[in-house]
Amino acid sequence: MNRDDPSSWALLVGRFLIAFIFLLSAMTKFANLDLTAQMIAAHALPAARLLAVTAACVELIGGLSLLLGVGASAGAVLLAVYLIPTTLVFHDFWRVAGPDRQMQMIQFMKNLAIEGGLLYPAVFGAGALSLDAWLSKHASLPDWWPSRSSATR
């Protein structure tokens, strides 16, 4: 895959769209940390403020990773793992009734779709239009660097 290949541009747009969700969510959490902590505490989770800050940081780091295409595989895995408990705890549609049930089911399904979208960069990397691709061409990356070979094709 090279920079002129339309699929490279599709991967870039896909990364941006998924990153946007997490970056906007992170900014909202940081701007409303007390409210976020209250929402977490309402689900009977301990250390609500710490969890709020942690959630915002995970979303920010993972979102920037996808947006820039640097360590995108690791960033996608981080976000995918983060979404599992988040989805199960905060979108437990099976425990609510009425209009809330449908809304929580929609949110649950949206998160499943995002999980599916995160699988691509997690497995195949960020693609040719990424910092991972640029760094692999112009710098000597350490063996532990979380990039995939598709970033350089």
Q: What is the pLDDT of residue 137?
A: 80
Q: Please, are residues 48 and 37 in contact by the beta-carbon 8 Å criterion?
A: yes
Tokens 């195949």 correspond to 124
pTM given for the model: 0.87
Residue 143 maps to a domain: no
Instruction: Evaluate whether residue 149 is within a structural domain.
Output: no
Which residues constitute the domain of residue 131?
6-136
pLDDT at 153: 41
Query: What's 55's DSSP letter?
Result: H
147 within domain boundaries: no
Q: Is residue 66 part of a domain?
A: yes
Number of domains in the chain: 1
Q: In the prediction, which pLDDT does 1 show?
A: 62
Residue tagged 């699988």 (tokens): 119
Note whether residue 142 is domain-resident.
no
Whether residue 104 contacts residue 88, with contact meaning beta carbons closer than 8 Å, is answered with: no
Summarised one tens digit per residue, pLDDT across range 128-150 is: 999 888 888 877 666 776 655 45
Taking the chain (153 residues) in runs of 10, the rounded mean pLDDT of each run is: 78 95 98 97 96 98 96 96 97 93 96 96 92 81 62 42
